[in-house]
Each structure stands twice: as C-alpha cells, then as structure tokens.
C-alpha cells in the first residue's frame, strides 16, 4: 500500500465514584433500569447541577499522571445534540478550556502525545429488542462521570493503537481512578483514522464509535484501513463520517456524517460558574500519585535483575506487579538470599504459566487465582533444589491452581519428588543401555540424539522421577566406559 495510516484515539473513562457527576444518584452497575435517576440526571426543568468534588479530584489525578498541564480556569460547556438517550438534549462537557492539555503516554520506545483530558457526563442507554419496532431507554447511565482522554494522531498501526490502549489502561488502574472494565463500559474507545501518502500531511478522517475491547479496536482499525485504501486506489474519495463497527461481521458501517464543533453549538454552562484551583491544591494531588508502570518497570529491572521486557510485562497490570512484589517479600520472609535467578523465575511463571491459565479461564486479574505468592515461591524452590523438574512443576501447578493446595504438600503427598539417589539411577541406566544396543551404537558413532533418546528411556523407566541432569550425566559416564 502506498498510504500511511494516521490514528488517534478518544478514550471515555467512567470514574470510580459512588455518585454521579452532577447529582447524588448511585453509580452501581447492573441496577434495575431507571432505578438510579433523579430530576437532575433526567433533565427536568428548573434543576441545578452541582459538581461532584471527587470527580474533579480523580480527573486532575489522571491529567497529572499523564503529564498534562492543568488549566488555571475550569469551565463547563453545553454540547447540544438531539438523541433519544439524552434527556436534556445537551450534554454538559468541556470545550475550549479542558481540564488538562499536552500530556503523553510512553508506548515501548515511542511517546504518544495526549492532546487533552476533559470531564463530561454520560448519556443514557438505548435497548433495542430484536423483532420489535420500538426501543427502550435506561437513564441509569445518564449523568455518570466520564473523563475523555484524546490522543494526538501519533499512532501508526492497529497494533500500536492496541498497545497504547493497554498502556493507558494500566496507568488508570494504578491510579485507581476507574475499574476500567471494558465489558461494563467503564472504558470505551472511539478511533479516528485516515490514510495519507508519504508526501501528504493528513488524509480525510473517519471516526469509528464505541469500541469496547482491545480486539475490537484492532479489528475495526484493520478493516477501516483496508476499506479506505481500496477507495483511494480506485480513485474515489473517503467521506468524513462517523461509522460503527459490526463485531460479528468484522466490518464498519456508515452511521452519520461527521460533526464539527460548530454543529454542537457549544456555549458556557450557565448553571456551573467557572472556577480556579490554586497551585497548592494541585500539588497536594500530585504528591499523592502512586508509582506508575514505567517507573515501576525501571525499578524492577534495576533492583531484581529482570530484563526490560520482563519488567514491562510484570508491571503491565497493577495486580501482577503487586503479586510480584508480594513474592519478593516472601523471599525475604523465608530468609532466602535475594538471588536474581529466583526473581527471574518468579517473573517467568507470572508471564508464562500463570498468564496462560488466566487466559484459559478468561480472568482479568491474577488475584482471581487460588495461587498465593507463597505458593509460587514454594514451586520455584522445589525446582531450584532439584526436588522436581521444571516439567513436573508445570504439572504440579496445573493441579494446585485448581485446589489451592500447597505445592510442597502436593509433591510430598503424591511422592512426586525426583530420585537423586545415584545408585538407583545408575542401576536404571545400566538396564536402559542393555535394552537399547542400537542407540548405544549410534552414540559410539557420534550421533548426539542417541544420548537424549536413552535419557528419555531412563525417565520412562523411572516414571519421570529421576533427576534429568543426573540421568544424563550417569548415562554419559556409562557409555564412555562402554566405549573403552
């Protein structure tokens, strides 16, 4: 393709407050339709919105973590548009004076710029029932506190867009500003994508609305890039419009022509007066920021000898990073020397077998597993001490992650510990050599696979209980004697 993709993301984040942005209604997910509403969020005449102080604090916390400049004056605007799930026929949002500007997110070696961060209220939810002519409206979501995070068009591929979104989600989870549950709609994403020739600045932008999974973002962008590319190659123009993604069919569908700012007729919200925050108030929030994923990854690499890739993997989720640090404390609590190899093994388990089981069970966080940091350390020690092989450790893990049993107790109760008795292994090795003269001859001819075959036979003979290292060493020794 002779065109370059240009991608920007608009992320809508539902903030973790117990009440809505401008009224006292609850924000509990899954409540009965229209059971968490009042005259304010239903847009009744004569009502007055009051800004939720915690919404403002969480918004500033996020903007500061993204390196944004906080605007000295905070102003809300009315964004006018007409839709069945918008009871006031306008949305209270922010326009030319957002909460924060000019931040960034580190994605691998690249820095993706954040254009703006602003507060707004959510609309309600339309419920379409198949086979019926009418739709229902649930206003529980109306007035939910949202933070919109708008990137610059710095992303160059669907994969990079997904990586940005995952990195941003991790930062937001570290900040504890939202549960970021995409299935519940706490984190939603609109994409803006265009194609340009290398010699051009920008092409015609198309917006794809309301994507609620990393996979959907990737698939929608891939399809849209292909669709626009085919149009341009055929000499046609790309229409500036808003499209929806049909997840079942994997395609985008036209929704409406793209709106411009003047279409919304923004004007200052007269019921919410502009106000300012002092530098001291902002600094108090800044000082309360936690250690964020990028900084934590650098510390893990420096303190525990992890590779940069492993450190980034372990810190990609706050729960996984906390789990790793709990394992580090368990090492100290057990009186063990803090060896880099031990920490590397712990990271490998978190990024390997534990991640695999979480994917199989469709679990979001590591804490959902019945496998404590102490149990992981036990498993690592069992392998390090030679009591079980790494292969056996995987089998033990597969069992204890279901039952919650201690790995050490599981190994002891089922007599799974490796045989390290040199005499017993030598006896089995001699029997294997006698039973496999062909492999012995191949070894004498210098064929390296012959030794591994004999090791496999010895492991089978001992039902996997022999120490693989000792088995190989013993066989090699006996075969050399046999050569003489």
Q: Within this chain, do residues 177 and 321 fall inside the same structural domain, yes or no?
A: no
The better pLDDT of the pair 89, 261 is held by 89
The better pLDDT of the pair 415, 108 is held by 108
Of 235, 263, 286, the residue that ends a domain is 286
* Residue % of the chain over a pLDDT of 90: 56
Give 306-326 pLDDT, tens digit per residue.
Answer: 999 999 999 998 989 999 999
Instruction: Write the DSSP assignment of 49-112 as a string of letters.
Output: ----HHHHHHHHHHHHHTTPEEPSEE--EEEE---TT-TTSEEEE--SS-SEEEEEEEETTEEE
pLDDT bucket at 202, cuts 50 / 70 / 90 = confident
Structure tokens given for 246: 């049909």
pTM: predicted TM-score of the whole model, two decimal places: 0.81
- The whole-number pLDDT of residue 454 equals 84
Q: Within this chain, do residues 173 and 317 fall inside the same structural domain, yes or no?
A: no
Q: Within this chain, do residues 473 and 324 fall inside the same structural domain, yes or no?
A: no
- The whole-number pLDDT of residue 417 equals 63
Angle, helices 448-461 vs 437-444, to 10°: value is 150
The better pLDDT of the pair 368, 345 is held by 345
- The whole-number pLDDT of residue 178 equals 94
Handedness of CA 159, 162, 168, 169 (dihedral sign): negative
Q: Within this chain, do residues 119 and 209 fall inside the same structural domain, yes or no?
A: yes
- The whole-number pLDDT of residue 418 equals 56
The chain-wide mean pLDDT, for the chain, equals 89
Give the β-pairing of 206-211 and 241-246. Answer: parallel
Domain tally for the chain? Answer: 3
Q: Within this chain, do residues 173 and 309 fall inside the same structural domain, yes or no?
A: no
Q: Is the pLDDT of residue 329 over 70?
A: yes
Q: Within this chain, do residues 282 and 298 fall inside the same structural domain, yes or no?
A: no
Q: Say which CATH number the domain at 463 has.
A: 1.10.10.410
Q: Is the pLDDT of residue 471 over 60?
A: yes
- The whole-number pLDDT of residue 442 equals 83
Give 426-466 pLDDT, tens digit per residue.
Answer: 777 888 888 888 888 888 878 878 888 888 887 787 766 66
Of 370, 394, 413, the residue that ends a domain is 413
- The whole-number pLDDT of residue 419 equals 55
Q: Within this chain, do residues 253 and 340 fall inside the same structural domain, yes or no?
A: no
Q: Within this chain, do residues 280 and 299 fall inside the same structural domain, yes or no?
A: no
Q: Within this chain, do residues 386 and 436 fall inside the same structural domain, yes or no?
A: no
Q: Within this chain, do residues 89 and 108 fall inside the same structural domain, yes or no?
A: yes
Of 386, 413, 440, the residue that ends a domain is 413
- The whole-number pLDDT of residue 297 equals 94
Give 141-189 pLDDT, tens digit per residue.
Answer: 999 999 999 999 999 999 999 999 999 999 999 999 999 988 888 999 9
* 370 Cβ neighbours under 8 A, 6+ residues apart: 400, 401, 402, 403, 404
Q: Which domain holds residue 372?
A: 293-413
Helix, strand, coil percentages in the chain from 3-state DSSP, rounded to 5: 45, 20, 35
| Neighbour tally for 8: CB within 10 Å | 22
Angle at 254 between CA 251 and CA 260, to 5 degrees: 130
The better pLDDT of the pair 317, 416 is held by 317
Q: Is the pLDDT of residue 483 over 70?
A: no
d(CA 146, CA 181): 14
Q: Within this chain, do residues 75 and 104 fall inside the same structural domain, yes or no?
A: yes
Give 213-254 pLDDT, tens digit per residue.
Answer: 899 999 999 999 999 999 998 889 998 889 999 888 988 888
Q: Within this chain, do residues 398 and 471 fall inside the same structural domain, yes or no?
A: no
- The whole-number pLDDT of residue 391 equals 83
Residue 352 is given by DSSP the state I
Instruction: Write the DSSP assignment of 455-480 as a string of letters.
Output: HHHHHHHTTT-B-HHHHHHHHHHHHH
């Amino acid at each position: 393709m002779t065109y370059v993709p240009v991608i920007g993301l608009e992320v809508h984040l539902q903030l973790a407050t117990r009440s809505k942005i401008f009224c006292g209604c609850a924000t509990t997910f899954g409540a009965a339709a229209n059971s968490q509403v009042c005259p304010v969020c239903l847009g009744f005449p004569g009502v007055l919105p009051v800004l939720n102080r915690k919404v403002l604090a969480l918004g500033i916390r996020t903007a500061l973590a993204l390196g944004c400049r906080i605007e000295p004056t905070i102003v809300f605007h009315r964004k006018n548009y007409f839709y069945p799930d918008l009871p006031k026929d306008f949305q209270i949002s922010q326009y030319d004076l957002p909460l924060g500007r000019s931040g960034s997110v580190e994605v691998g070696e690249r820095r993706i710029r954040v254009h703006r961060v602003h507060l707004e209220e959510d609309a309600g939810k339309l419920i379409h029932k198949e086979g019926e002519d009418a739709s229902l409206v649930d206003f529980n979501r109306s007035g939910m506190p949202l933070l919109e995070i708008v990137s610059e068009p710095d992303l160059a591929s669907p994969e990079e867009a997904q990586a940005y979104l995952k990195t941003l989600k991790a930062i937001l989870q570290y900040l504890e500003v939202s549960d970021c549950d995409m299935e519940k709609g706490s984190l939603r994403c609109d994409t803006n994508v265009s194609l340009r020739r290398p010699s051009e600045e920008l092409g015609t932008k198309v917006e794809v609305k309301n994507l609620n999974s990393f996979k959907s973002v990737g698939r929608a962008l891939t399809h849209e890039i292909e669709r626009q590319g085919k149009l341009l190659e055929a000499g046609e123009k790309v229409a500036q419009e808003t499209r929806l993604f049909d997840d079942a069919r994997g395609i985008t569908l036209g929704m409406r022509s793209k709106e411009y700012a003047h279409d919304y007729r923004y004007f200052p919200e007269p019921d919410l007066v502009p106000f300012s925050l002092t530098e001291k108030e902002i600094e108090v929030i800044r000082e309360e920021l936690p250690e964020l994923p990028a900084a934590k990854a650098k510390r893990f690499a420096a303190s525990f000898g992890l590779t940069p890739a492993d450190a980034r993997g372990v810190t990609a989720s706050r729960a996984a990073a906390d789990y790793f640090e709990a394992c580090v404390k368990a090492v100290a609590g057990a009186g063990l020397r803090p060896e880099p190899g031990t920490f590397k093994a712990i990271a490998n388990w978190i990024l390997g077998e534990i991640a695999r089981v979480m994917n199989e069970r469709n679990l979001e966080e590591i804490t959902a597993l019945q496998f404590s940091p102490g149990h992981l350390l036990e498993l690592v020690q069992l392998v390090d001490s030679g009591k079980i092989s790494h292969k056996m450790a995987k089998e033990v893990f597969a069992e204890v992650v279901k039952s919650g049993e201690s790995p050490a107790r599981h190994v002891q109760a089922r007599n799974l510990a490796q045989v390290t008795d040199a005499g017993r292994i030598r006896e089995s090795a001699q029997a294997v050599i006698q039973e496999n003269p062909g492999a012995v001859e191949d070894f004498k001819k210098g064929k390296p696979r012959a030794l591994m075959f004999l090791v496999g036979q010895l492991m089978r003979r001992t039902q996997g209980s022999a120490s693989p290292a000792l088995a190989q060493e013993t066989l090699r020794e006996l075969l050399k004697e046999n050569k003489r």
